């Protein structure tokens, strides 16, 4: 790492440290509070103090004129309303107005604007500053670590970076999996208590809030310190510009290891569920049938997350160090296998749910998506070990085949047949729902006409179908449809 890179890292570290302090202050002042009060002007004043010190020390504050100082006065006065008044409408307005004025003021005094403040284009620049420019710098604190090659402590820093990147995603995954599986939730509660005898309580929420505020402030301040200049030459060759940026192998391994630890535990629970061994560890008050019919939606969401992680790491993970990349391949394989088990468990649970409550289009479509995801994960597993496999081509072909198969599967007919089969086993059926489906279900409804229990209701639904057909059918040959024609032949003698 050169001198300029080292200076860059120092600047990033200093700014990140101050923003982290502001993140801690924000958490201390506002977490779990229903009324901001004096905390609001204190936090605003502190942010201004950090901003003034950082930007003045780097010579980034421009000679000011009257309007920016008026903005400071307005910001301070509006902040003090949280101490002086209690009108909720004005306080909510001021809570969001002060940050907007802060953005306007900081852009003016740092000269990171092109249009004057009284031009409508200035509002567009403000919107770009807080969205595009800020979001583009969210991962800037970690860029020096990704670029580093010779730092003695780079491995430890990269591991820490991997943990920092993974924690927010891991929290989302744990929440989803805990909601999906009560046994997993039980373990997630008990394991920390058993190992550390600590009740974590609201610690994850504090971490998320502090991290969020830290990164947002860092990204915004960095966008002001290093504004993008489209006309300014970058100093990099065309070859370097084209060279794709890669994620360091240590960071990739850390991310995958943390995720896989959770997924392996969850997969072990799913295997015990699939083979009937989960009853002995069910939480109190939860029956096996209740346990089996929950969580398929959350598992499907986690599967989408996993395929996103898989694709990102297949594309961005560095292959420079063969040993590290082999570890990444193994970890990606574990992630994929766990995802396949999660999908299979979700499919099984949804099937049990359908058997208990009936088959509908909104229940059958997620199962169809699960089959698609299973296929995509399978081809992704091949891609992990064979780099010449084109995921884009494979995904496109699989998705197109899946769409054609989905059309020809005739889901309405499957729903009708499955619900009738369930009726024969349980004596329960929703004929109103079946009657609301397409004409493909008419042959199945006709089979129920002589049923002693629901025959009259089936005939009523067939009459409704007949009315629909009369309203929709046109004599022109161009409108011929086989499904509709078959239904017409069946219901024509219904009176």
Instruction: Assess whether 181 and 108 both reside in one domain.
Output: no
In a domain, residue 399? The reply is no
- Say if residue 311 is in the same domain as residue 364: yes
Higher pLDDT, 4 or 212: 212
Confirm whether 277 is domain-assigned. Answer: yes
Distance CA 196, CA 302 (A): 28
Query: pLDDT tens across 281-291, in order?
Result: 555 555 555 55
Q: What is residue 239's predicted lDDT score, i.e. its pLDDT?
A: 47
Residues 188 and 332 in one domain: yes
pTM of the predicted protein model:
0.60
- Do 170 and 122 belong together in one domain? no
Higher pLDDT, 233 or 55: 55
- Listed in sequence order, the residues at least 6 apart from 5 whose beta carbon sits closer than 8 Å to its beta carbon are 144, 147, 148
- Nearest to residue 299, comparing CAs of 258, 340, 333, 268? 340
Residue 16 resides in a domain: no
Inter-CA distances, 167 with 161, 211, 212, 300, 356, Å: 10, 10, 12, 21, 37
* E strand intervals along 276-379: none
CB distance 98 to 78 below 8 Å: yes
**400 domain-assigned:** no
pLDDT over threshold 70, residue 62: no
456 and 485 inside one domain: yes
* Any domain includes 14: no
The model's pLDDT over 391-429, given as tens digits with 9 standing for 90+, comes to 888 998 999 999 989 888 889 999 999 999 999 998 899
Structural domain that includes position 52:
33-136
Number of neighbouring beta carbons within 10 Å of residue 182: 19
Query: Are both 162 and 299 inside the same structural domain?
Result: yes
**Domain finish residue from 358, 390, 422:** 390
Q: Which residue has the higher pLDDT, 95 or 147?
A: 95
The domain tally of the chain equals: 3
Mean pLDDT of 219-228: 81
Query: In terms of domains, do 334 and 253 share one?
Result: yes
Say whether both 446 and 328 belong to one domain: no
For 247, phi and psi rounded to 5 degrees? -90, 130
Q: What confidence score (pLDDT) does residue 245 get?
A: 66
For residue 267, pLDDT beyond 50: yes
Q: Within this chain, do residues 326 and 281 fall inside the same structural domain, yes or no?
A: yes
The answer, yes or no, to whether residue 246 has pLDDT greater than 70, is yes
Q: Could you tell me if residue 402 is inside a domain?
A: no
Q: Please tell me the distance from the alpha carbon of residue 419 to that of residue 124, in angstroms, as a whole number.
A: 56
Question: Which ranges of 181-248 does DSSP label H, i.e. alpha helix?
Answer: 182-196, 203-225, 238-242
pLDDT tens-digit readout, 444-456: 999 888 888 998 8
Read off the pLDDT of each residue in 371-388 and give the average, rounded to a whole number.
93
Domain shared by 200 and 322, yes or no: yes
What pLDDT is stored for residue 3 in this prediction?
A: 47
Q: Which of 359, 390, 421 is the last residue of a domain?
A: 390
HSE (CB half, 13 Å, CA atoms) of 35?
Answer: 12
Greater pLDDT, 285 or 78: 78
- For residues 127 and 208, state if they share a domain: no
> Within this chain, do residues 312 and 214 fall inside the same structural domain, yes or no?
yes
């Amino acid at each position: 790492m050169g001198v300029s890179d080292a200076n860059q890292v120092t600047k990033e570290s200093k700014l990140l440290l101050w923003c982290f302090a502001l993140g801690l202050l924000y958490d201390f002042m506002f977490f779990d509070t229903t009324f901001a009060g004096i905390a609001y002007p204190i936090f605003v004043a502190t942010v201004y103090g950090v901003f003034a010190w950082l930007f003045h020390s780097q010579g980034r504050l421009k000679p000011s004129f009257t309007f920016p100082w008026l903005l400071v006065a307005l910001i301070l006065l509006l902040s003090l309303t949280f101490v002086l008044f209690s009108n909720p409408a004005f306080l909510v307005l001021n809570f969001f107005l002060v940050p907007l004025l802060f953005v306007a003021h900081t852009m003016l005094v740092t000269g990171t604007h092109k249009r004057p403040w009284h031009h409508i284009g200035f509002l567009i620049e403000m919107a770009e500053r807080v969205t595009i420019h800020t979001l583009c710098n969210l991962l800037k604190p970690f860029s020096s670590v990704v670029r580093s090659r010779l730092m003695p402590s780079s491995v430890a820093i990269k591991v820490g970076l991997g943990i920092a990147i993974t924690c927010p995603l891991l929290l989302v995954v744990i929440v989803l999996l805990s909601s999906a599986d009560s046994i997993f939730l039980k373990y997630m509660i008990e394991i920390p208590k058993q190992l550390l005898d600590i009740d974590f309580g609201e610690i994850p929420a504090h971490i998320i809030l502090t991290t969020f505020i830290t990164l947002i402030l860092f990204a915004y301040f960095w966008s002001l310190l290093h504004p993008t200049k489209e006309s300014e030459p970058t100093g990099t060759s065309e070859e370097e510009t084209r060279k794709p940026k890669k994620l360091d192998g240590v960071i990739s391994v850390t991310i995958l290891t943390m995720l896989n630890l959770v997924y392996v535990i969850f997969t072990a629970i799913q295997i015990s569920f699939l083979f009937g061994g989960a009853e002995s560890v069910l939480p109190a008050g939860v029956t096996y049938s209740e346990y089996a019919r929950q969580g398929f939606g959350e598992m499907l969401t986690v599967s989408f997350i996993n395929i996103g992680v898989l694709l990102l790491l297949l594309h961005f993970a560095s292959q420079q160090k063969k040993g590290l990349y082999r570890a990444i391949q193994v970890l990606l394989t574990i992630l994929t296998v766990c995802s396949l088990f999660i999908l299979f468990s979700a499919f099984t649970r949804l099937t049990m749910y359908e058997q208990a409550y009936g088959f509908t289009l909104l229940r059958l479509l997620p199962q169809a998506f699960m089959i698609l995801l299973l296929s995509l994960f399978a081809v992704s597993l091949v891609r992990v070990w064979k780099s010449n496999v084109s995921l884009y081509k494979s995904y496109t072909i699989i998705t197109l085949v899946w769409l054609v198969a989905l059309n020809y599967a005739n889901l309405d007919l499957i729903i009708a047949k499955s619900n009738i089969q369930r009726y024969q086993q349980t004596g329960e059926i929703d004929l109103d729902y079946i009657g609301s489906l397409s004409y493909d279900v008419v042959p199945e409804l006709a089979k129920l006409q002589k049923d002693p229990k629901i025959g009259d209701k089936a005939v009523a639904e067939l009459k409704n179908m007949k009315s629909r057909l009369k309203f929709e059918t046109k004599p022109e040959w161009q409108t011929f449809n086989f499904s509709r024609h078959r239904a017409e032949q069946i219901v024509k003698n219904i009176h």
